[in-house]
Amino acid sequence: MLQAETLKQSILKKAFEGKLVRLQPAQIVVKPKNEYFYQMQLLALIAKASKEHNIEHGEMTLAKYAYLLDKVYGVPTYYDYNRWHLGPYPPEMKKAINNKQFFSKKAGHVVVVNEEKLLKYTNPYEISVHDAIDDLAGIFEKYPVKERAEKTELLATVCKVVEDIKTTDITEVRKSMEDWKIELDNCPYKSKADKFTLEDTEKCLKFLIQREWIKSLIV
């Protein structure tokens, strides 16, 4: 009781002195008990919110959206994103989208099934995911549909590079993109620097700075 009263008085003193700092919801991160189920929920929420904008995801674009939600919008996915041929990708995500109880693939697109059961339990980031997808849809809708996948890859690629090397110096960014190899038989490009021009990269960096996303990537 004495300790509780002491704590109470301390809090009141700080409040009167203006020293209390109010925590924002985004600052409070509680790791889910069932990480795998939580991750499936997030992927389903991304797909569901994207569908409202007539956006359908293949495995790779779903991964890139998940990456951007995590690193830019502050929605923890608890995935480790590797430098994959077509952008940041967490290999463990494959286990989730191959779970036939909740996901299927139709014409190369990831489709959520049994949605009611998967989303029966509230996900604490449901609103944040929805808002983030609304924002991303607004970013990409200005491009023709056939260009959107590549623009998504460019954005996620530059974000990943900046996150990895902790600088926006264009020389360093381009060097890192040269080191990001693409080893696909059906792809004419050998690296990210080969696929995306210097001008593409500069415009993307300028966008990241304008949106203040750099603060989330360089920490």
pLDDT of residue 73: 97
Among residues 95, 49, 51, 46, the alpha carbon closest in space to that of 68 is found at 46
Name the pairing type of β-strands 103-106 and 87-89. unpaired
Is 104 part of a structural domain of the chain?
Answer: yes
The pLDDT tens digits for 94-146 are: 999 999 999 999 999 999 999 999 999 889 999 999 999 999 999 999 999 99
Is 127 part of a structural domain of the chain?
Answer: yes
Mean pLDDT over 80-105 rounds to 96
Is 12 part of a structural domain of the chain?
Answer: no
The pLDDT tens digits for 162-188 are: 999 999 999 999 999 999 999 999 889
Instruction: Output the pTM of the full model.
Output: 0.85
DSSP string, the chain: -HHHHHHHHHHHHHHHTT---PPPGGG-----SSHHHHHHHHHHHHHHHHHTTT----HHHHHHHHHHHHHTS------PPEEETTEEE-TTHHHHHT-TTTEEEETTEEEE-SHHHHTSSPPTTHHHHHHHHHHHHHHHTTS-HHHHHHHHHHHHHHHHHHHHH----HHHHHHHHHHSB---TT-S-SBHHHHS-HHHHHHHHHHHHHTTTHHHH--
Is 3 part of a structural domain of the chain?
Answer: no
pLDDT of residue 7: 40
Q: What is the tally of structural domains in the chain?
A: 1
pLDDT of residue 34: 93
CA distance 14 to 95: 48
Q: Label residue 28 by pLDDT band (50, 70, 90).
A: low
Question: What average pLDDT does the chain have?
Answer: 88
Residue 152 pLDDT > 80, yes or no? yes
Among residues 97, 49, 98, 99, the alpha carbon closest in space to that of 69 is found at 49
Mean pLDDT over 35-44 rounds to 97
Residue 4 pLDDT > 50, yes or no? no
pLDDT of residue 33: 87
Is 115 part of a structural domain of the chain?
Answer: yes
Mean pLDDT over 69-83 rounds to 97
> What range defines the domain where residue 132 resides?
32-217
Residue 32 pLDDT > 90, yes or no? no
Is 16 part of a structural domain of the chain?
Answer: no
Is 14 part of a structural domain of the chain?
Answer: no
Is 202 part of a structural domain of the chain?
Answer: yes
Mean pLDDT over 67-92 rounds to 97
